[in-house]
Structure 1
Amino acid sequence: MTIANILRGKGSQVVSVGPEEDAAAIARTLAQHRIGAVLVRDPQGGVLGIVSERDIVRALAGQQEGISRLRADQLMTRVLHTVTPETPITTALSMVTDRRVRHLPVLDAGGALAGMISIGDLVKARIAEAEQEASDLRNFVTSGG
């Protein structure tokens, strides 16, 4: 199973903010959409970085006052770990584990944004895959092979 399978069910819509959005507006966007991260995109749609709940918490811990006025381009993580629609789910799970991230932007072969997946999406897909494999094995054994 690949990332494309997840995107077929989830869709390719990605919530994003501009680099000038402040932390308070970003927090409202995260809460409104019930998500843990947003991409930061320039006016032409180019991906500049990602702001996650973790980024906001780190800023809050390091800068006690004025956090709500910090801009996305000050909060964002600039180094993005990305996948393609063809990336196997197991590879993406290894990436989020090894790199300690929770969200992976999905870029198509041309480098255009094709969606974003979370660790929750990956775990859900892997469980469904394991359940299907177990069902297939049960059917094979009970049918006599």
Structure 2
Amino acid sequence: MIVEGILKRKGRRPITVEGDTPVGAAICIMRQRNAGALIVSKNGRDIDGLVSERDLIRALKSHGVGRLMPMTVADIMCRDVASCRPDEDLRRVMTRMSARRAHHMPVVNDKGLCGIVSMAEIVDRRLAAAKEDAAWMCESIPVPG
């Protein structure tokens, strides 16, 4: 199982915002699009950072609502963003995400940003595959009697 399988199901258009996007606007976008994270990019190809729900909570705790809303996503985003490739094995991506405590990981190919995957999507895909394997095994094993 590779990352490409998830992108085929959900689509390849990640939600991006520019660094100067106000935090309040980013929150609205996340709510409207049901997104747990936004990729920060000037051009839609290169990754400048990532702002997640957890980044927003941390910033809210540090700055308070009044000071947070006019800030920009560049002020609170994670700049050290790991990425994966579409042909990468889901187990490897899951291990890397777990080690970094990351819930989201951008996907890049030779042309740049081409998607984003979440830990939940990876777990769902692996669980579905395990259920398929279990069903196949149950059907393949002869029952005595």
Distance 2:16 2:29 in 1: 9
Aligned to 2:89: 88
TM-score, normalising length from structure 1?
Answer: 0.92
Aligned AA (2:76): L
Superimposed CA distance per residue, residues 52-78 of structure 1 (whole angstroms, 9 cap, x where no aligned partner): 011111111111241001111111101
Aligned to 1:73: 74
Instruction: Tell whether the 8 Å contact from 2:44 to 2:113 is kept in structure 1 after alignment.
Output: no
Aligned to 1:34: 34
Aligned AA (2:89): P
Aligned to 2:12: 12
Provide the aligned length of Structure 1 versus Structure 2. Answer: 143
Distance 1:95 1:132 in 2: 25
C-alpha deviation, 1:131, in angstroms = 0.7
- Percent identity of paired positions between Structure 1 and Structure 2: 25
Q: How does 1:38-49 map to 2 (within 5 A)?
A: 38-43=38-43, 45-49=45-49
Instruction: Tell whether the 8 Å contact from 2:45 to 2:111 is kept in structure 1 after alignment.
Output: no
Unaligned runs of 5+ in 1: none
Aligned AA (1:95): R
Runs of 4+ in 1 over 6 A off after TM superposition: none
Q: Secondary structure at the match of 2:48?
A: strand
Aligned AA (1:132): E
Aligned to 2:120: 120
TM-score, normalising length from structure 2?
Answer: 0.92
